[in-house]
Chain A
Amino acid sequence: MPPSQRRRRPVEDEESEEDARPRQRRNQGDSDAEPEEEEEASEDEMDVDARPGQSADDQLAKKLVRYAISCEYSRTVIRRDGIRERVLGNQGRSFKRIFALAQIQLKDVWGMELRELPVKEKMTLQEKRQAMKSNSQPKLGSGAYILSSTLPKAYRTATILPPSKTPSADDEATYAAFYTMVISMIWLNSGELSDQKLKRYLTRLNADQNVSMDKTEIILKRMENQRYVIKKTDRPPVGQDGDLMISWHVGPRAKEEVGLDGVMGMVREVYGEWNPDLEKKLCSSLNIKERTAEEEDEVVEEDVSRRQTMDAE
């Protein structure tokens, strides 16, 4: 197919991604159909010219931007599959091009970008062994994204970017504080925290039953769904007695949104008075090398503002 033709391909201007859902569900149905055929069929049925100055690619990129913004609203992970299904429809093969275009639009206009979440790590020995056995190619990317701010740090202040009003500014701020803290506790425990230990920490914070807006259990569930944390349940080996082993791990969203810097910022903030000795301890707890003083300064500010930006989105 000549590229010129492809360019001309129209996109239903007024159609929002919400409207498009039923149609896309249909598309899902014939996903086994030859992609080639699908493309040609759609070529015939649509022959309207896109708005001047807005090529079909621009239209698709716009849809992708809208999709990303509305996903981030509810902290729904933006998946490559979701983008293919809800945004690109039968033009799945143009993913790379549209994605790049959407990134430019996001950065230029909104001061944001899509960042890919890290691939899920194999956590247990068993999982690692299985991965070796299956001999499958390791996946290159996780195919999951979150929206992140690209604003220079001077603009990332609480006055400019308050916690989102969804569901309410207070709840949103509390939630961000709570998950950052839980993630910090997991991270400081070498990335794995037993359920009992977590509960003990939470009891000390008087957050074992309720976290201001909801039951702790529900909040933890939400953190799991939004991939801030991963809850792992290990059964005792067959034939042996024992309780279920529940442990908590740092989720991919937390790695990207909060990150090590966020954890360090949180710890410094909680300790208040800081000294080189504490810094050494913190670094050894997190199993990292110490940074120079200048880097640190940057890190603290960046981290605080990054969380705020994320809330804003």
Chain B
Amino acid sequence: MGDSRYTPGNRAFLQAILARGTITFEEARPVLAEIFTADRGDDSEVRADQVTQEEFNDYIDVASEAASLFDYEIRSTVHQVTKQRIYALVNTTSDPQTQLATTYSPDELSFIKRVLDGMFEKYNSPRMEVLAIAEMQAIKLARPDRRQSQVDADAQTQTPGDKALKHSEVENVLASLVEGGWFEKSEEAYYSLSPRGLLELRPWLVETYNDPDADPSEWQRIKFCEACKDIVTIGLRCVEPNCNFRLHDICEDAFWRTRREKKCPKCSNAWSGEKYTGERAVTMTEAFQRGRRRGGGWQGSTLADEAIREEGGGEDAEEDADDPEENIYDDE
């Protein structure tokens, strides 16, 4: 790189992002302040509040350009709930296993794949797009699904050697995915993909869970916000179960402001604003609310499963309602 603009400060910033995985403007300000201080090399100090958005953008651009030579890239997205813009260093050529990095064992990786399948297949149906997984539901996925692996010719992730994880291992993996910034855990103990996870896995999610030959009117597993075009895993949906029209909560107001009437532009049904994508698809149901009033809390996925069953949402929620204990502990 003969570019004279590329300084030690740029290298330091790239390393700063590499170490963090993601960075926001707020997080970057003290970092850039220190870099600018080091650039000056004298005793004067740059304060974090002196770092401007422009300077930040400039450093992000330079870092992204440099990283792109190595098939990495800095992508940004807005958090679906907090509305904060997040920048992530993304590996642009890879599969989900390596994207989630290599500190996981093969068994753990295949468990993670099962959890992703849980989020995007099992708990994601036209009637109920949870796109998240309750802790107890994830624990039930500790054991590889033998039946499925037999049917599944695609042996890439379901190798015969797959072993079940112990209860404690499942908890560790989930906790480390949250700590590492791949998953987020909600107050109701639902795990969903974090902005970083979505950025990194976006192409893979679409490729894996959506049907490229499907008719535009057909329901798809991965859907995008009509306003900002990013993936929606937490947001609002059209009342028509098979319609693909989705909006983020944070995009809703701006979107309708430009329209004359609140009707789904795809299927013309009236927009209720009370149909949800994400864990609220479960937690806002009558059954769930009733259960919680009874004092159930989140404690059972049983509650979540019950809510899903009542709504007719789970494709096969019934079949694995067997005792999870038995599944988890008898291995090894």
Query: Given that A73-B102, A154-B38 are known contacts, is A109 also in contact with B70, CB under 8 Å in the complex?
Result: yes
Contacts A160-B34, A162-B19, A312-B19 given; does A109 touch B180 at CB 8 Å? no
Q: A66-B70, A74-B102, A151-B12 are in contact. Are A18 and B38 (CB under 8 A)?
A: no
Known A111-B12, A167-B180; contact A155-B35, beta-carbon cutoff 8 A: yes
From A214, which residue of chain B is reached at the shortest CB distance? B172
Q: Chain A 132-154 against B: per-residue CB contact (8 Å), 1 yes, 0 no?
A: 00000000000000000101101
User: Which B1-54 residues have a C-beta within 8 angstroms of A?
Assistant: 1, 6, 8-9, 11-16, 18-21, 30-31, 34-35, 37-38, 41
In the complex, what distance in Å separates the CA atom of A162 from the CA atom of B12?
12
Check A309/B176 contact, CB under 8 A, given A66-B71, A74-B103: no
Identify which of A15, A76, A110, A168 contacts B14 (C-beta below 8 A): A110
Complexed CA–CA distance, A66 and B41 (Å): 32
Contact A168–B179 (Cβ < 8 Å): yes
In contact, B102 and A62 (Cβ under 8 angstroms): no
Whether a CB of chain B sits under 8 angstroms from the CB of A311 is yes
Q: Report the number of A-B residue pairs with Cβ-Cβ less than 8 Å.
A: 119
Q: Which residues of chain A are within 8 angstroms of B66 by Cβ–Cβ distance?
A: 109
A108-B1, A160-B12 as given contacts; A165 in contact with B69, CB under 8 Å: no
In chain B, residues 52-75, which have Cβ atoms closer than 8 Å to a Cβ of chain A? Answer: 66-67, 69-71
Interface residues on A, range: 35 or more
B30 cross-chain contacts in A, Cβ below 8 A: 159
Contact for B31 among A69, A159, A309, A311, CB less than 8 A: A159
When the two chains form their complex, are residues B95 and A159 in contact, meaning their CB atoms are under 8 A apart?
A: no
Contacts of A311 in B (CB 8 A): 19
CB-based contact B95/A62 at 8 Å: no
Task: Encode contact with B along A153-191: 1 for CB under 8 Å, 0 otherwise.
Answer: 011010111111111111100000000000000000000
Q: Which chain B positions have C-beta within 8 A of A169?
A: 179
**A16 lies within 8 A of B69 (CB):** no
CB distance from A92 to the nearest CB of B (A): 22
- With A110-B15, A313-B15 given, is the CB distance from A157 to B34 under 8 Å? yes
* Contact residues in A for B180 (Cβ distance below 8 Å): 165-168
Contact A16 B11 (CB under 8 A): no
B268 at the interface (CB under 8 A from A): no
Shortest CB-to-CB span from A64 to chain B, Å, is: 10
- Name A58's closest neighbour in chain B (CB-CB): B69
Q: Is the interface of B mostly helix, strand, loop or mixed?
A: helix
Chain A residues within an 8 Å CB radius of B14:
109-111
A65 interface contact, C-beta 8 A: yes
Cα distance A111–B1 when bound, in Å?
Answer: 12
A166 touches B38 (CB 8 A): no
Contact status A309-B15, CB under 8 Å: yes
With A108-B6, A162-B20, A163-B19 already in contact, the answer to whether A168 and B11 are too (CB < 8 A) is no
Q: B181 on the interface (CB 8 Å rule)?
A: yes
Do B31 and A168 have beta carbons less than 8 Å apart? no
> Which residue of chain B lies nearest to A149 when distances are taken between CB atoms in the complex?
B15
Q: Is the CB of A154 within 8 A of B101?
A: no
Of all chain A residues, the one with the shortest Cβ separation from B30 is A159
Q: Which residues of B contact A212 (CB under 8 A)?
A: none
Q: How distant is the Cα of A16 from the Cα of B102 in the complex, in angstroms?
A: 15
| Residues of B close to A15: CB separation below 8 A | 93
Chain B residues packing against A (C-beta within 8 Å): 1, 6, 8-9, 11-16, 18-21, 30-31, 34-35, 37-38, 41, 66-67, 69-71, 91, 93-95, 97-98, 101-103, 176, 179-181
Chain A to chain B contacts (Cβ below 8 Å), 5 pairs:
A66-B70, A151-B11, A151-B15, A160-B13, A162-B16
